[in-house]
Chain A
Amino acid sequence: MRQEAETNRREFLTKASATAGVLGLTAAAGCTDDEADDTDDTGADVADELGEQLPTYEFLNNAESYNPPRHDAINLMANQFNELGLDTDVEVLEWGTLFNRVDVEYDYDFSLWHTFFTIDPVLELSSTMHSENTDPGEGNFAGYENPDADELMDQYLVEPDEERRIELVHDLQRTLMDDLPQMPVIDMPFLAVFNNEVVDNWEPDLPLGYNSYWTMINLEMQNGEDTLVGYWPEALDTMNPLGHNDENKHTYNFDIMYDSVVRLDNEGEINTDVSLATDFERVDEATMEYTIRDHTFHDGEDLTVEDVAFSYNYITENEVPLYSVQANFIEEAEVVDDETVRIHMPEDNPLGPFNLLVGTQIPILPEHRWADRDEPSEASVDEPVGSGPLQFDYWDRGAELGLSRFDDHFAPVDFEQRIWRIIPEASTVWENLREGDLSYETFGRIDRQLDENQDLDQITVLADPATSFWHCTPNQRTEGLDDPEVRKAAFNAIPRTAIVDQILFGVPDTGFNVVSSAFGPLHTEDVTEYEEDIEVGIQRLQDAGYVFDEEGMAHHPPE
């Protein structure tokens, strides 16, 4: 899931939705038509007079090797769309091209993306669904424009009252599910898959799931084991905490090597017991004040308030691309006394949830190592020095990364060492996991191996509702897909249960809402639901005035 990785920058603020999608080719393309289509003479009545046929739609898919289940799901969905009467081709693209086509150029008709790590649902939706962001690269790749939804999102973001915010977000969900600019296909859970003879006590946090700081500091090693071994299918790119591209593989490592002023617990609350700041206060609307505890960096130098202020100012002044969004909300950091630091936001652009969106994100850097670097994002870092519970030990590029416990940390981990191996072959992962050579399934693949191995005594699988989900997004710039009835019919045709049961081995739940239940009170079940039945979809198209030809393809009514 490199795609996931690639899109998982501090998503809450992302302009572009974090989407991981890919395309496939149509199941039917390339084969000879030796198969009589014996299912298309089902619901639709053949009309005598036809208007113009709806255009051919391109469903973009990722290569099979990239993400087999999603590749397969897209092929299946495209099949169903054809059954419904929408002429749909699947085009398989290599990940980079695919991402560009959908997320930057908006040159696609259907996409299936995996949205990740959203801390706040409306922050995410306001970038992907707000009509202000419909220009290329701005985030609204769906091309959805609805003033009502815009209004609800705008209100939500400035509304100080929580109860009122909940009402607004519930209304927003109802609006979006009535209009269906985006079809929630699958709710993807956070998965903890681990060898319980090696390690136990897995607790997720909301943005990073079971790869979070909170998870790591709470793990309990079993049977005297002292090494936690994880893996990733591809090599890490860099040891520069400011120079990576925000793929998960980097975030998961830097998040635990570098402290931020505040940290989240598994309830999604700021927990000062495990944070660098022992206390914080919003001094005024545009100023946060943090009390920093006594701490040292991995190299033994003291971590001071100067380092904290330096990190904020340095990242902002140098316009580090990775944190360009956060930088918008940082005016200046100021040392008050030897344990207090203040962060000033721009007076005209204060941010409500500053802790959540900035405080948990900006890594605290040792000033003595970074002060001389001019282009921080391009610096070559051999031995990263942070202050987190794990410190850099060795990096064998392309093979593995070794981190060791930082004994002086205020929230220590229970293991001596964390090794992160590079294992490109999915098949070898489970072999290692069963034997305990791997402690946990870091990457979280849902596949047949998980299905067949999950009942083993030494394997535990935990699933938690996550904020991430697969959504099929029709490009509303395309003729036909701008009609909500066509989108709804397509949603009726998506075999969500089959995708969950067969392609994803029953692990996730089928989706029915664009805001996941992981968001707690922000989520509502009171939205329009759509039956999973292709006949209902065909009926819906007919009711909307579309007519069908002998092949079962939908046409506009005759003029």
Chain B
Amino acid sequence: MATQDEPSIFADLDDGATEEDVESVNRWERTLRLWRETIGEQWRMLTDDLLVKLAMVTLTFFMAVAIFAPLLAPHGPLTRQYETDAEIIIADWVDPVFIDSESAYILGTTSQGYDILSQLIYGSRAALLVGLLAAVFTAGIGTLVGLTAGYYGGKIDDTLMRIVDFLYGMPLLPTVIILVALLGPSLWNIIFAIIVLQWRSTARVIRSQALSLRERPFVKAAQVAGASDWHIISRHLAPNVLPLSFLYGAFAIAWAILAEAGVSFIGLGDPNRVSWGTMLQSSRAYAALDFGVWWWFVPPGICIGLVVISGFLIGRGYEEITNPELR
């Protein structure tokens, strides 16, 4: 793969600086400070870029919407809206406010009588849940595996990398489809299926970083000083690959949300939960396009696009940090 000969651009963060106060500060505080500095530094570099800032704002916005969904949404996402006098009668295909100013529903209702706006609001929960969990696990598992493989090398490396090779042979969407068909259509299973595959690229890239890092003087020095493997991995290697982990984490948000939308669109989405993907599927099942009911199928697509592009932009922001030649 093409990543092996990438130049390492990481500063050796803990060269020198940490040596002098070895006695005075306890290890945990030092580790904590080290991590804080690393993250703080990257945060500053990252938010330098206007686009990244916008992406952060967008993600924060959707997170707020997701958290406060019950307060924001006028109705339950899967609560049928009934017309007033005859309870049974479903208020289906109610026009939105901008078509019919009398309408009680800002974006109208679906053909089954669900409030579209509420579905959109609750849909952010599924999207962010998928995105963030996938990001955390992708970055976490990938980094751990990559560092372990890269640092220990030999058989461990070989075994782990063969697993990664195997995962690279699996096409994402078809695999997720099969796993979901096997495990049952629930959001957790979709997330699980995505994570199972997604950590592969993080692991591969982090490993090649670790390979070159472990030859660095500060690692050698720590080894000579008798530091434990775990100490070296967590204190010397991990901070140096952090930007890469974040980068892949940010991309994972985007890919995971796209994958969830795709699986839902095929009809294997979680039926008990509204996501933007299931909204699209439903609007397609009821041919909303044909009736020009764009307020049903346009908004979920836009929301998906916004969250996904935020993930990409943040990822790209990181890419520029990790690869200054792009700046």
Contact = CB atoms under 8 A, between A and B. Distances in A.
To the question of whether A and B form a pair in one complex, the answer is yes
B245 interface: no
Nearest to B86: A498
A121 interface: no
A32 B76 contact: yes
B282 A64 contact: yes
A26 B75 CA distance: 16
Given A30-B78, A68-B285, A68-B286, A63 B267 contact: yes
Contacts of B268: 63, 94
B96 to A, nearest CB: 17
A76 B266 CA distance: 23
Contacts of B77: 30-31
B287 A65 contact: no
Interface stretch (A13-21, A413-421, A446-454, A547-555): A446-454
Interface in A466-509: 495, 497-498, 501-503
Contacts of A447: 286-287
A39 interface: yes
B316 interface: no
A35 interface: yes
B179 to A, nearest CB: 13
Interface string A28-46: 1111111100010000000
Contacts of B323: none
Interface residues of B, number: 37
B185 A92 contact: yes
A449 B76 CA distance: 28
Interface stretch (B59-67, B138-146, B165-173, B269-277): B269-277
A31 B287 contact: no
A79 interface: yes
Nearest to B82: A39
B68 to A, nearest CB: 11
Contacts of B78: 25-31
A436 B291 CA distance: 19
> Which residue, of B80, B93, B271, B291, has the highest number of chain A Cβ atoms within 10 A?
B271
A33 B77 CA distance: 10
B41 to A, nearest CB: 40
A31 B119 CA distance: 10
B267 A65 contact: yes
Contact of B287 (A61, A79, A448): A448
A26 B111 CA distance: 16
A34 B122 CA distance: 12
Contacts of B122: 31
A331 interface: no
A524 interface: no
A26 B181 CA distance: 20
Interface residues of A, number: 41
B88 interface: yes
B103 to A, nearest CB: 18
Interface of B is mostly: loop
Given A32-B76, A35-B79, A427 B272 contact: no
Interface string A55-76: 0000001011110100010011
B320 interface: no
Contact of A25 (B271, B286, B290): B271
B301 interface: no
B267 A66 contact: yes
Given A65-B281, A448-B111, A502-B89, A76 B286 contact: no
Contacts of A502: 89-90, 92
Interface string B290-304: 110000000000000
Contacts of B266: 65
A35 B75 contact: yes
B87 interface: yes
B89 A30 contact: no
A426 interface: yes
A34 B73 contact: yes
Contacts of A425: 284
Nearest to A92: B271
A60 to B, nearest CB: 11
A430 interface: yes
A498 B86 CA distance: 10
B58 interface: no
Given A30-B272, A31-B79, A448-B286, 5 more contacts: A30-B77, A34-B70, A64-B285, A65-B285, A75-B112
Interface of A: 24-35, 39, 61, 63-66, 68, 72, 75-76, 79-80, 92, 94, 425-427, 430-431, 447-449, 452, 495, 497-498, 501-503
14 contacts: A24-B271, A25-B78, A30-B77, A30-B272, A64-B267, A65-B285, A68-B285, A72-B111, A75-B112, A427-B289, A430-B290, A431-B290, A448-B287, A502-B90
Leading 9 A-B pairs by shortest Cβ distance:
A92-B271, A65-B267, A31-B76, A30-B272, A427-B287, A495-B88, A498-B88, A25-B272, A25-B271
